[in-house]
Structure formats: structure tokens, C-alpha cells
Amino acid sequence: MTLGFLDYIMSILNELLMEVQSHGNDYEDLVIKRLTGLSKKEYDALKGKGGYTSSMDIVKGLLSDRDRSVKTTKGNKVDCGDILRRMNEKEYEIIVGQYRQDGGNKVIHTEYVFNIKPEDYNKLWGTMKYELVEEYDRFIKSIPKTREGQQATKEERTRIKNNIACKDALMVIHPKVDSKSQRRVQCSFKIDQMIESGIEYTKKDINIVIKSSVRKFNK
């Protein structure tokens, strides 16, 4: 497999990620407007004026009685962003819009709301230690931003991740290291496992249609 082909594949994945984030923001805008009366743009501007630094999409005390994080997924896996920020959060809601592709539209058909409480922390993270995850995050960010750096650290990245992860935890560690400048550590969970764990949740059928066609790439 040539380096040129690998670069091509990475460019496709990056473009797909940008599209996912785009329709995710559309859903986020709808949820924020429903819960606060403001658009995402208006709400984010209000957060900035108030000096709020929370990573949450909806912040407790700002037109909301609690912190809320808004996500979308096509399947079972839900990406949750920066792992250190998420590990620091103890009480919040995760609102998940699950969608299917229908021609040129993405149809969000199911909405899950997971009510995360302080007593759920061990279910989410198991035996994972914040200090070790923080050290891993520093290691990932220290990797030279070159293809050589990406390839040379592949085995070490995996070894350390396996050592600090907990197989019984709901949250999974995801280091993001590409051949260019991406150097971060994120996390995710699976909807079915979250439900099976006994974490409080609600589920409802919805029908939100967002115009967003499947991207096609020339060879």
C-alpha cells in the first residue's frame, strides 16, 4: 500500500467526518432551540459573553437546569469528544439523535436521553485512572506531526492504551493520530451497553429530516 494511497484514504475519512459534524450541528441547533429558545449560534454567543467555559453544548445555569451534551450517530457507537473533559464531568445528560440515510436526507428517527449521575462514574470509567489517561494524552500530543511520527509510535500507542483502559467500562479510549497534525484522545460508548448497564434513560421515536446526501468520491 503506497503512501499516496494512504493519504487519499485519510482525506476521504476527514471529509466524511466534516459532513457528520455538519449534520450533527443541525440536530444540535434544533435541540438547543427546543430546550432554550435560542439557536446554537445565539446560545454559543451567550455562553461567550457570560464567560462560560464548559464543554457542554447546553450549560447548567444558562437557560437550563442542567448540563447537556448533544450527539448524533448512525449506529450504536456514540463519540463523546475529549476524554479528559468527559472524565471530569459527573452529572449531565447525553442527548443522542440516531439517524438513517434516506436518499439525499438524513432522517433522525430515535432520540435517547441518558441521565448521567455521580454514582454512574464507575460504570462509565471502571478502573481507569484520570492521571494515567492524562499522561497518555500528553504522550499522544507530543508525537511529531509527521507520517514517520505516526508510524513509529503505533505499537507504543496501542500498548499504553491497553494498559490504562478498562474492559468493563462503558467508555472506550480512542487516540486520534493521523499522518498530519491530528493528535488527541477521545472516547465513545455504545448505546446498547449504556442501556444494559442500568443507567437511567429515556427513548422516543422522532422524525427529523436533514438534507445531507451521501458523499461520493472520484477514484
**Per-residue confidence (pLDDT) for residue 211, from 0 to 100:** 86
Q: Which helix (H) or strand (E) holds 32?
A: helix 3-36
Q: Is the pLDDT of residue 90 over 90?
A: yes
Tell me: the pLDDT tens digits for 117-153? 999 999 999 999 999 999 999 999 999 999 999 999 9
CA distance 139 to 194: 29
Q: What is the pTM of this model?
A: 0.84
**Nearest residue to 79 via CA among 190, 195, 192:** 190
Of 52-56, 171-175, 189-193, where does mean pLDDT reach its minimum? 52-56
pLDDT of the residue at 24: 59
Query: CA-to-CA distance for 25 and 40, rounded, in angstroms?
Result: 8
> So what's the pLDDT on residue 44?
92
The pLDDT, as a whole number, for residue 21 is 45
pLDDT of 9 strictly over 50: no
pLDDT confidence of residue 213: 62
Statement: residue 56 has pLDDT above 60: yes
Q: Which three cell numbers stand for residue 20?
A: 457528520
Can you give the pLDDT at residue 51? 72
CA distance 113 to 129: 26
